[in-house]
Amino acid sequence: MVKNQVNYWQGKKVVVTGGAGFLGSHVVAKLKERGATDIFVPRSQEYDLRDKDVCANVVKGADIVIHLAANVGGIGYNRDFPGTLFYDNLLMGVHMMEESRKAGVKKFVAIGTICAYPKFAPVPFKEDDLWDGYPEETNAPYGLAKKMMLVQSTAYRDQYGFNSIFLLPVNLYGPGDNFEPGSSHVIPALIKKFVEAKASNEPSVAVWGTGSATREFCYVEDAAEGIVLAAEKYDKSEPVNIGAGFEISIKDLAEKIKALVGFTGEIVWDTTKPDGQPRRMLDTARATAEFGFKSKTNFDTGLAETIQWYQNNQ
């Protein structure tokens, strides 16, 4: 444990919204490792963060707020609930930051999304390209709602001197991911499909799209480390990407998961379903330069661990 990290978190009250979720649980674990003892995780069953009075109650007495809570899902979920995703995420972000400012919170860490990037942003996505076009249509309502926290963050620093930062994590994966078919992202969705197809000796597995789209994936524990490092060391308005800095096509991803699971049937591409954004990959140089973050987990290793976890816990 590094001495200044202990000093940074000791004696501070930290609020982590979404702290019981996939990414949040890893962030909370890292905070505890670093010496944080006063961590409050508001659960959605008790605290509706779309309500400003609830947010005011949640941030009372807090020194640092890490706002991870989101209504989020894969392409199908985004396509079915665009209005809900816009409304929920916009209100949560707006109220959490405003009430944190009013409560005198010393630092606010806003977690955005790669979905905020323009549909045809040059690859790798650089933070400076964030405003150069409209996001991919299926996830634009979600992406833009989260992106408003960047606007709010910059405006609040300018007007109030409020110390808030905005991070853009890429698609995450790892043990403990969401494997629910209605709302899961591509890696857990594919793992579930191939594991179940193997178990029931299915001849084939249907996968959405053409397989040509590319994605970048960051192991959840690495992303959590990036967020905690930024909370400790970064104090500027400019957005920062958190990712692994590589891309893989959905076709290659499906073949990789198929092989790791040991499924011997065919992959059938359902081209009536959308591919989503054509390419996704982040430039992560700013995170390395500003707070020393670099993703460490090898993708094949992380994927094997995620599959193993699902097989043990399904």
Contact assessment for residue 17 and residue 110, using Cβ atoms and an 8 Å cutoff = no
Tell me if residue 296 falls in helix, strand or coil: coil
* Burial classification of residue 155, based on how many CB atoms lie within 10 Å of its CB (0-12 exposed, 13-18 middle, 19 or more buried): middle
Structure tokens at 190: 């594919």
Q: Which of 126, 157, 284, 295 is nearest to 219 (CA)?
A: 295
Q: Are 254 and 215 in contact (CB under 8 A)?
A: no
Which residue, 111, 118, 123, is CA-closest to 280? 123
Q: How many CB atoms lie within 10 A of CB 194?
A: 24
Q: Which residue, 5, 9, 295, is CA-closest to 169?
A: 295
Nearest to 251 by CA among 311, 297, 309, 205: 205
Question: Rounded to the nearest 5°, which phi and psi values hold at 108?
Answer: -120, 125
Q: What secondary structure does DSSP assign to 158-220, as a single string?
A: HHH---EEEEEE-EEE-TT----TTT--HHHHHHHHHHHHHHTT-SEEEEES-S--EE-EEEH
Token pair, residue 304, equals 């094997």
Please identify every residue annotated as catalytic: 142
81 near 116, Cβ under 8 Å?
Answer: no
Sequence letter at residue 160: Y
Residue corresponding to tokens 């996505």: 125
